[in-house]
Amino acid sequence: MLIFAIDDERKLLQYLHAAIAEAAPEAEIRDFLLGQPALDAIREEGLRPDVVFSDIRMPGVTGLELAVRIRTLSPQTRIVFVTGYEEYALDAFQCRASGYVLKPVNAEKIRAELDALPPARLPLEPEKLTVRCFGYFEVFWQNKPLHFQRRQTKELFAYLISREGTSCTHGEISTALWEEEDDMKLAGTRIRTLLHDLLTTLREIGMEDALIRHRGSIAVNRARIDCDFYRMRDGDMAAINSFNGDFMLQYSWAEVTAGMLIFNF
């Protein structure tokens, strides 16, 4: 059994680790002082903890936010909140937490929660971003429009979507979106700012893996995106029949793709 222990106070994290180790001596325990490193371990190292014992009040990614993101990345992971504040109990259960432990923790409390854990859920199909390209470009998360901090951040994402998962260099992006920009240094700074903004937006909903990043290039991960354009390209008749010639209407650079689709479909 792999267990994550998360608390932003080092001494309390040590207490939590000791309680888990006494309650479950057979378990492998990974300690984290913040939520983000735990997410990185799941996303980048491929770890899939069986149980996460996490504080709720933490700087950066709170325990409640952490639960939402872990559920997206590792649906089978059970989450138990550990806190000194009883008023968080309702929030915890609204997050569908598997358990709730009040501080101070001890082995008996941890063992009781482990014994009461529900069975691991069967793997679920990962949630996807819903992207609409026909007509005006729009992005939805859980049936609600996704808010972008900058208008150009949304345009950048639209361009990456239009490339269908092909890696794009910063230079390609700049040339496509801002043909009039002659200052390449300024263009590079703009691209980095927008990419950071886009990644932050996706990270907030646990969908940072919708982007595939390499040194100097970036692409979308088609596996995390439900898109009318992609379904059309894959031969889905419903998507083909829904296309009336309009494609990402707010972006002039998309006219080339629109013409290609009209010619081929």
Segment-wise mean pLDDT, segments of 10 residues, the chain, 265 residues: 95 96 96 94 90 91 86 87 68 62 92 84 72 97 92 96 94 82 72 92 91 90 95 94 95 94 88
| 89 and 200 both lie in a single domain | no
pLDDT at 187: 73
The last residue of one of the domains, among 92, 116, 140, is: 116
Cβ(120)–Cβ(49) under 8 Å?
A: no
The last residue of one of the domains, among 116, 148, 165, is: 116
Domain that holds residue 19: 2-116
The answer as to whether 154 is a domain residue is yes
| 104 and 143 both lie in a single domain | no
| 21 and 138 both lie in a single domain | no
Residues 36 and 61: their CA atoms lie apart, in Å, by: 6
The answer as to whether 124 is a domain residue is no
| 90 and 140 both lie in a single domain | no
| 100 and 135 both lie in a single domain | no
The answer as to whether 122 is a domain residue is no
pLDDT at 49: 95
pLDDT tens, position by position, 54-95:
998 889 888 888 888 888 888 889 999 998 766 555 555 555
pLDDT at 236: 93
The separation between the first and the last C-alpha atoms of the chain, rounded to the nearest angstrom, is 52
The answer as to whether 45 is a domain residue is yes
Residues 102 and 152: their CA atoms lie apart, in Å, by: 45
Query: What is the rounded (10 degree) CA torsion for 6, 11, 12, 15?
Result: 100
Specify the CATH number for the domain of residue 97.
3.40.50.2300
The answer as to whether 123 is a domain residue is no
The answer as to whether 243 is a domain residue is yes
pLDDT at 96: 54
The last residue of one of the domains, among 116, 139, 167, is: 116
| 59 and 89 both lie in a single domain | yes
| 157 and 82 both lie in a single domain | no
Q: Which residues contact 37 (CB under 8 A, 6 or more apart)?
A: none
pLDDT at 118: 74
| 218 and 241 both lie in a single domain | yes
| The total number of structural domains that make up the chain | 2
| 34 and 104 both lie in a single domain | yes
Q: How many CB atoms lie within 10 A of CB 9?
A: 13
Residues 61 and 103: their CA atoms lie apart, in Å, by: 20
Residues 115 and 113: their CA atoms lie apart, in Å, by: 5
| 246 and 138 both lie in a single domain | yes
For helices 63-73 and 35-44, what crossing angle results, to 10°? 10
Residues 186 and 169: their CA atoms lie apart, in Å, by: 15
Indicate the SS3 state at residue 104: coil
| 249 and 136 both lie in a single domain | yes
